Chain A
Amino acid sequence: MRRSRLTHHVSKTMKESNPRLWLLAGGGLLVGLVLMAVILIVRPFGPPNFHGTVFQSSQPAQNFSLTAHTGDRVNLHDFQGKVVLLYFGYAYCPDVCPATMGELARAVRALRPSQQEQVQVIMVTVDPERDTLELLTDYMGYFHPTFLGLTGSEEEIAAAAMPLGIYYEKEEGTVVSGYLVNHTASVLVLDKRGYLRIVYPFDTNGEDIASDLRYLIRE
């Protein structure tokens, strides 16, 4: 009697095991899907995974005043309300500057028009001697119509670059076409309040920059 009850029980569980296995597998899948859904839902609200070095600045970046390629006088603080991408380069720059400016143009083009309006790319020249307003206008035009080129006196540019960790120096008579200017090739990102938030090293991908910009625009 006892044995028959036991075999009866075993056969019963064996018959039932099939649907239970399905249930377990289904449950596992469900948990997986829910986890994925939670991650997807929470991610845009969570902390961003920026692609450069992130800063915890305690005050806005130091203001500077320079002349735009349009001839207008501009202050860095005028751009508060926009996310600012700041780069120091020059038009005669053979390789690093055009590559960086190209990536910045790619980043901006990857955004929706309404987002593009909230971003300002600025290149401050480190070669005011050769970068005239006309040349800067042409140079900016190669990359994006909204890009702004800034210039000024030697002192004004030094005062803008130095506090942002930008070093630059002329290197005389190295190529036939004239002198080169060695300079720090990082791209600085200021948020809408004018605080330094991210520094990108040279060769940061435009798509990666765009994804960071989307987050900073939403803030």
Chain B
Amino acid sequence: MTMTLLSVSRTLFLAACVAGSAACTSLQSVSVNSVPTNRSRPVEATESNTAFLGIHFDNDFVDDLPSQLTAQCPGGKVTGIFTKHESTWYVLVEQREVRVSGYCVYERPSAPKAPVAKRASATPLAPVTRTESAPRESQP
């Protein structure tokens, strides 16, 4: 009986070691917003932060991400932003990573804004009666 328990314990320990060395990655959060038609200029930035036993002293590592994105899109607008926050455990060390990607678009400055109808996303969308079209997004 004792031998069986020891054998099971050893197997579980080995499994834990394999899991630890292979890493346990989990998705913490994802955020998405509207994606533009023009996806010819993708921009991306990633930051990570590692800590022993998962004890992090601040969350400042994400602060540079917005500026990193806008730096890749001078004079334009970064839209369609997809943000993914994941964490990985390597035995006793945790690594947090935030990856942000989006699309750089340029809008025509003289284009007027068309009236828009705001709808909640959960509301079923029926065809809307046309009064005026929105201007197309275009590159400079």
State yes or no: do A and B come from one complex. Answer: no
Residues in chain B within 8 A of chain A (CB atoms): none
